[in-house]
Structures are given as structure tokens and as C-alpha cells.
């Protein structure tokens, strides 16, 4: 985007580029560039490198040892990280539970958890959804019964991303039954090593594994691991979801995929000329690039409001989430189209980096189909598109 950056912002952009050039491990950069699967160790290594610089939580306030990045600085960091093939950051700690802890947590909770989120020594996952509570999250039924200084947690979470990698999970649980479903929900921090927790993998159609079902059987959780007041968990959950949807704008990801699209379309041929010179295809690329620029402006405006103390607002963050999803999916469709028949062979050994199978097609042909299908899920996770449209209808249009 042609933002006019101030001299300080230009210096910051320069600093980010220099840092990534000097510190992003070559093997991780290659995996991201070729869209191969990224393992826990890859994420942690990069996040810990950023953590040493304080950049894993760069947007956190100074009082919590963040750098209080402005909206523009966060934007600069994300888009440069996309351009330079940095892995997606796992946001459960820095952008989700971290802000909840520093906003609503006790001094003990802050002292225990914030440093380990900042240096990325602990991996968090999110335990909200249940088999009968997804869009209608307030219908959740995982129970936390009073047991003296502890809660006894019983129930099941599902679609829990990276629970098999996680050290801790933040969970919504029911501490009482009330007339309004939203009441009686509490927000608990649970150590994944606690006896009674079982993680079952849910495999994807391409063989990959990021989703899980998590079962809780008489899991004893100290009451001091509850965030804020008992029964007020919905307030903290809503605060977190608004942050999550801003993250779901996917600026880093779309920046990276747009560059990939241009690269592929410059090597693929259409009637013996580069596909990118085909006026029809080129118009499709330009259209999605223009949509992305409007999204960037929307995200910047939203982030600036949040920093000025104006709440994101349910309607605005829903809009960002829906547009980010639509644009990312459109870019992946165009990558698939540009790759053409080369995208058809399923090459798991290359996708997961597990074998010595010979590459069929150009090296960018391994992942477009897998990536296209996987990212269809963007329409669902973080709150489905239909639900976001309902929120916008209510909060923006007043319907």
C-alpha cells in the first residue's frame, strides 16, 4: 500500500527488514516460501527469536513489557513478515489470552503467564467450541463444578487447533445454569498436563493434523486459574473474540500469497506468453489486489481506534474478518487457476517434508490444491461468515 510513512516509520520498516534478513532461519523461510507444513518447533524457534527482541508481543503496552507498537507499526511488521516468508505467528498467546490476562488477570496470573507468552516458551490453545456449541457458543456445556479450592471440569471441546502442541488451554466452562445462557460461564486457564485431559486428533483430507477433540474427565483446576469473576466469562470471551477477528484479517498471509500469485503467473504460460500478461487473468489479479488495499485501510483504521481507546466494536471486526476471508480465498483460487493441471498430483512426502519422492511439476505445484481446500475453513473458524453477517446486520445496520 502506498502509505506515506513518517521518517520514524520508515526507520522501523528498515529495522524489521534487517532483523528478518539476519535472523529468520533459512530452513523455515524455505518451508514458508514453498508452503510446506510448518511444525511446532519451526513456530517456536521463530517466535522465540522474535521474543528475544520483544517483537512477539510488540503491540502489548509498555507496562507489560511490550513495545506499544502503533497500528502502523503492527501493519508494517505484518506485511514485511509476509513479503519475507516468515511463518504465521501462533496468536493464541500474544493476541488472544495475553490481552485478556493483562486486562482482567490477577497480579499472580500476570506474573506467571505474561513472561512465558512474551518469550514464546509456552504454547497456548483455545477451548471454546464444543460438539453442540459452535456458532451458538453460549450453549456450551463443559462443566466446572465447585470442589473447594478447585473446580472439577468435565466435558468435551472440539476443533481445538494445535491442542496436541499446547502446554496450556484457555477454556470457557459452565459454572452455573442461569436463565440467560451467557451467564454462568467462566473463563479458566488449564495446564494441559493436568490428569484427566485427553487429546484426540482430527485428521484433514490432505493428511495433515492441526485439529483435535479434547476430553476433560474430573480435571482438577485451581480456582486461582479463573480469569476475573465467576460467571462473567462471557465478557472476557467477547473481548478476546474482537481481538481474534482483527487478527483474522490475515494481512501477513494475503501479502505473502499475492506475491506468490504474481510469481507463479509470471512463470506459467498462456498461449506462449506469461499468464500475467493475459489481460483477463491480469484483470483478476488487479481486482483482488485493489480489494486487499481497501482491507488494509480498514484494518489500520480499526487498529488506530483500538489504540485510541475506542472499542473495536462487534460490527467492525466482523467486517474485517469476512473481507479478510473472502480476499484470501480468492487469492488461493487464482493460485490454483494459475498452477493449472500441475496442482492435481497429491505429493504428501513433499508437502510434509517426510521423504525423498521426486517432484512432479514445478516446485510451487505441491501445495496449491491442499492450501486451497484447507483455507476454505477460514469461512468457519473465528466465527462463520453467516454469523459475522448477522452481527453486522444487528450492530451496523440496526436490523
- Which of 73, 78, 95, 160 is close enough to bind ligand FAD by CB under 6 A? 160
161 is a contact residue toward ligand FAD (CB under 6 A) = yes
Q: Which three cell numbers stand for residue 194?
A: 493436568
Shortest distance in whole angstroms from residue 227 CB to ligand FAD: 16
57 is a contact residue toward ligand FAD (CB under 6 A) = no
Tell me, by CB under 6 A, how many residues bind ligand FAD.
19
Which region holds residue 80: left if phi is over 0, alpha if psi is between -120 and 50, else beta? alpha
**Count of other CB atoms within 10 angstroms of residue 260:** 22
Q: Which is nearer to ligand FAD, 122 or 377 (CB)?
A: 377
CA dist., res. 353 & res. 208, Å (int): 12
The residue at minimum Cβ distance from ligand FAD is 134
183-212 residues near ligand FAD, rule: CB under 6 A: 211
- Which of 380, 392, 395, 396 is close enough to bind ligand FAD by CB under 6 A? 380
Q: Which is nearer to ligand FAD, 120 or 212 (CB)?
A: 212
Angle at 115 between CA 110 and CA 121, to 5 degrees: 130
Shortest distance in whole angstroms from residue 386 CB to ligand FAD: 3
126 is a contact residue toward ligand FAD (CB under 6 A) = yes
CB 136 within 8 A of CB 210: no
363 is a contact residue toward ligand FAD (CB under 6 A) = no
155 is a contact residue toward ligand FAD (CB under 6 A) = no
Q: CA dist 205 to 111, 209, 214, 373, 374, Å?
A: 41, 10, 20, 9, 9
Stretch binding ligand FAD (CB under 6 A), from 1-9, 119-127, 180-188, 362-370: 119-127
According to DSSP, the β-strands at 226-227 and 185-191 are antiparallel
- Which of 134, 184, 233, 324 is close enough to bind ligand FAD by CB under 6 A? 134
Q: CA dist 80 to 14, 70, 71, 268, 374, Å?
A: 10, 15, 14, 26, 24
Query: Which residues in this chain contact ligand FAD in the complex, by CB under 6 A?
Result: 125-129, 134-135, 159-161, 211, 377, 380-381, 383-384, 386-387, 390
Amino acid at each position: 500500500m502506498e502509505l506515506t510513512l513518517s521518517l520514524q516509520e520508515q526507520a522501523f520498516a528498515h529495522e524489521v527488514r534487517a532483523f528478518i534478513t539476519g535472523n529468520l532461519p533459512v530452513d523455515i523461510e524455505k518451508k514458508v516460501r514453498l508452503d510446506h507444513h510448518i511444525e511446532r518447533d519451526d513456530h517456536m524457534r521463530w517466535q522465540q527469536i522474535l521474543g528475544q527482541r520483544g517483537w512477539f508481543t510488540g503491540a502489548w503496552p509498555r507496562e507489560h513489557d511490550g513495545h506499544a507498537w502503533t497500528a502502523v507499526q503492527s501493519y508494517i511488521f505484518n506485511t514485511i513478515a509476509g513479503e519475507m516468508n516468515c511463518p504465521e505467528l501462533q496468536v493464541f498467546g500474544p493476541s488472544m489470552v495475553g490481552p485478556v490476562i493483562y486486562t482482567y488477570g490477577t497480579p499472580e496470573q500476570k506474573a506467571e503467564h505474561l513472561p512465558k507468552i512474551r518469550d514464546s516458551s509456552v504454547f497456548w490453545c483455545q477451548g471454546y467450541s464444543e460438539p453442540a456449541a459452535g456458532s451458538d457458543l453460549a450453549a456450551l456445556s463443559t462443566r466446572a463444578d465447585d470442589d473447594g479450592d478447585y473446580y472439577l471440569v468435565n466435558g468435551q471441546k472440539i476443533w481445538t487447533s494445535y491442542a496436541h502442541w499446547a502446554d496450556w488451554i484457555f477454556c470457557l466452562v459452565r459454572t452455573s445454569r442461569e436463565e440467560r445462557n451467557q451467564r454462568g460461564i467462566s473463563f479458566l486457564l488449564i495446564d494441559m498436563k493436568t490428569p484427566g485431559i485427553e487429546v484426540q486428533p482430527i485428521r484433514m483430507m490432505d493428511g495433515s493434523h492441526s485439529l483435535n477433540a479434547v476430553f476433560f474427565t474430573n480435571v482438577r483446576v485451581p480456582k486461582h486459574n479463573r480469569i476475573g469473576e465467576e460467571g462473567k466469562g462471557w465478557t472476557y470471551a467477547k473481548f478476546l473474540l474482537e481481538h481474534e477477528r482483527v487478527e483474522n484479517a490475515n494481512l501477513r498471509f494475503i501479502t505473502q500469497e499475492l506475491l506468490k500469485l504474481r510469481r507463479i503467473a509470471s512463470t506459467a504460460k498462456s498461449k506462449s506468453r506469461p499468464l500475467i500478461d493475459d489481460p483477463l487473468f491480469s484483470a483478476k489479479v488487479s481486482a483482488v489486489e485493489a480489494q486487499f488495499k481497501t482491507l488494509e485501510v480498514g484494518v489500520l483504521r480499526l487498529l488506530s481506534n483500538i489504540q485510541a481507546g475506542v472499542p473495536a466494536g462487534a460490527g467492525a471486526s466482523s467486517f474485517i474478518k469476512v473481507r479478510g476471508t473472502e480476499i484470501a480465498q480468492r487469492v488461493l483460487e487464482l493460485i490454483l487457476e494459475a498452477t493449472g493441471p500441475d496442482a492435481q498430483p497429491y505429493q504428501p512426502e513433499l508437502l510434509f517434508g517426510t521423504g525423498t519422492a521426486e517432484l512432479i511439476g514445478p516446485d510451487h505445484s505441491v501445495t496449491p490444491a491442499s492450501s486451497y481446500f484447507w483455507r476454505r475453513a477460514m469461512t468457519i473458524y473465528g466465527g462463520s461468515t453467516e454469523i459475522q453477517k448477522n452481527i453486522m446486520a444487528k450492530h451496523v445496520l440496526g436490523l
